Amino acid sequence: MHYQKHILITGGAGFIGSHVVRLFVNRYPQYRIVNLDALTYAGNLENLTDIENQPNYVFTHTNLLNPQALAAVLEQFTITDVVHLAAESHVDRSILSPLDFVYTNIIGTVNLLQAAKVYWNGQYEGKRFYHISTDEVYGALGDTGFFTETTPYQPHSPYSASKASSDHFVRAYADTYGLPTIISNCSNNYGPFHFPEKLIPLFINNIIERKPLPVYGDGLYTRDWLFVKDHATAIDVVFHRGKLHDTYNIGGFNEWRNIDLVKLLCQLMDEKLGRPAGESAELITYVKDRPGHDRRYAIDATKINAELGWAPSVTFEEGLAQTIDWYLANTPWLQRVTSGVYQQYYKTQYA
Ligand code: NAD
Ligand code: DAU
């Protein structure tokens, strides 16, 4: 088979990466999709069982921290484009172990940039290095205003500082070596395959198991939520039609205070589980705040809509209902992830 492109997607076994890999594999049989992932605690190949036997899909168990291995992957699979999602992604973990974030998010990204620069060797025509980043690099907002593409960077957590640094290195490789880069910064994602230590899947799991729902601080922190499949379609659009060396903010103009979101989740879960109204809300427990907790995030997604015509396909109510249905229909996935059994899958499948 002659493929038009050989696209390396990093972090494809993670939450967002698995949706991007699935979308690209199914939508573009003319592209070969190479999923590179180190399979950390957050990487789960069970997220991709529906496409793992497609002829245009390949998995490589490779760590961003191994530059020789990265160089070999680019050469072996004649990589023409990179969509870089692999990262340490959990703010709370970054507070406990900041160096893991420096290694993977900063050094890992520089290793990948360097490998692409060396392999492509100045032959940049038709190629792209697309770096997936976060709105957290912009810091925190007060009660009003939005993050735009020109908002100055002001990260507060080790996670956001490491992502900000990786964005700077991507731009530095464009400015210094002409690497054909592009960046997008997205708001909070939710949806199927979300690792159950982030707010929404953790609380869904705790409601199912009737465990406390730990709300940090006063619960009045605000996040801007986007359905993960809509992030994947935005990545598709930016990859194909975004302007080189440019930046796009991705979001759905969908702000929720944590406590309001948690109450909505409790109400929907009571309905879906056939429990008396108000039962799950009794599990809400206010706990010690996250240090350096950003008060509010809100993305201005005007540019991607105006320039590339992208908009979310579902409302929050639809996306949240789909997400809850997915978790309720996939309790074995949830149990395997929470018990750690999923980590055996790779060994069995790829022995
Ligand atoms: P995730 O934690 O679910 O997945 C990360 C993936 O990267 C995992 O499969 C993991 O095994 C892999 N990985 C980690 N370290 C690696 C290494 N050293 N080498 C190779 N692979 C490694 O993350 P996610 O939530 O899917 O986020 C994906 C990307 O999107 C990240 O870059 C993140 O910063 C960004 N992002 C996430 C959100 C969100 O709400 N989750 C929002 C905006 C941007
Ligand atoms: O904004 C984009 C970012 O969104 C991504 O870059 C990150 O990778 C992603 O993890 C997410 O970061 P947050 O810190 O916003 O997500 P998290 O789900 O950890 O927390 C969402 C909000 O809920 C935040 O205000 C903290 C709060 N929270 C979280 C947990 C896990 C709680 O109140 N209780 C909890 O137990």
**pLDDT above 90 (res 350):** no
| pLDDT value of position 348 | 75
Strand partners, 284: 213
pLDDT in tens, 326-345: 999 999 999 999 988 878 87
Nearest to 194, CA basis, from 326, 37, 308:
326
- List the residue whose alpha carbon is closest to atom 5 of ligand 1: 14
Q: Which residues, in sequence order, are CB contacts of 117 under 8 Å at separation 6+?
A: 173, 177, 179
Asked whether 17 lines ligand 1 (CB < 6 A), one says yes
Nearest to 342, CA basis, from 23, 11, 39:
39
Ligand 2 binding pocket, CB closer than 6 Å = 89-91, 134-136, 187-188, 198-199, 202, 214-216, 221, 223, 258, 290, 297
pLDDT in tens, 87-139: 999 999 999 999 999 999 999 999 999 999 999 999 999 999 999 999 999 99
- Looking only at the bridges linking them, the beta strands covering 247-250 and 181-186 are parallel
Decide: 169 and 106 in contact? Cβ < 8 Å: yes
Q: 246 catalytic, yes or no? A: no
| pLDDT value of position 151 | 98
pLDDT in tens, 279-292: 999 999 999 999 99
- List the residue whose alpha carbon is closest to atom 7 of ligand 2: 89
**pLDDT above 80 (res 271):** yes
Considering every ligand atom shown, identify the ligand nearest to the alpha carbon of residue 45 and give its number. Answer: 1
Decide: 345 and 46 in contact? Cβ < 8 Å: yes
| pLDDT value of position 128 | 98
Distance CA 146, CA 127 (A): 32
Which three-class secondary structure string do you get for the chain?
Answer: CCCCEEEEEECCCCHHHHHHHHHHHHHCCCEEEEEEECCCCCCCHHHHCCCCCCCCEEEEECCCCCHHHHHHHHHHCCCCEEEECCCCCCHHHHHHCHHHHHHHHHHHHHHHHHHHHHHHCCCCCCCEEEEEEEHHHHCCCCCCCCECCCCCCCCCCHHHHHHHHHHHHHHHHHHHHCCCEEEEEECEEECCCCCCCCHHHHHHHHHHCCCCEEEECCCCCEEEEEEHHHHHHHHHHHHHHCCCCCEEEECCCCEEEHHHHHHHHHHHHHHHHCCCCCCHHHHEEEECCCCCCCCECCECCHHHHHHHCCCCCCCHHHHHHHHHHHHHHCHHHHHHHHHCHHHHHHHHHCC
pLDDT in tens, 5-46: 999 999 999 999 999 999 999 999 999 999 999 999 999 999
Q: Which residues, in sequence order, are CB contacts of 1 under 8 Å at separation 6+?
A: 32, 55, 56
| pLDDT value of position 351 | 63
The total number of residues written for the chain in this structure: 351
| pLDDT value of position 71 | 98
Decide: 34 and 7 in contact? Cβ < 8 Å: yes
pLDDT band at 1 (very low <50, low <70, confident <90, very high): confident
Q: 307 catalytic, yes or no? A: no
Ligand 1 atom closest to residue 43's alpha carbon, by position in its atom list:
9
Ligand 1 atom closest to residue 62's alpha carbon, by position in its atom list:
20
Ligand 2 atom closest to residue 293's alpha carbon, by position in its atom list:
25
Q: 81 catalytic, yes or no? A: no
Distance CA 337, CA 43 (A): 10
Quote the ligand 1 centre to 85 CA distance (angstroms). 5
pLDDT band at 349 (very low <50, low <70, confident <90, very high): low
| pLDDT value of position 6 | 98
Q: Which CATH code of 3.30.70.20, 3.40.50.720, 1.20.120.1200, 1.10.10.10 fits the domain covering 5-190+225-250?
A: 3.40.50.720
End-to-end CA distance of the chain: give it in Å, rounded.
26
pLDDT in tens, 176-216: 999 999 999 999 999 999 999 999 999 999 999 999 999 99
* Domain range list for the chain: 5-190+225-250
Considering every ligand atom shown, identify the ligand nearest to the alpha carbon of residue 193 and give its number. Answer: 1
**pLDDT above 80 (res 219):** yes
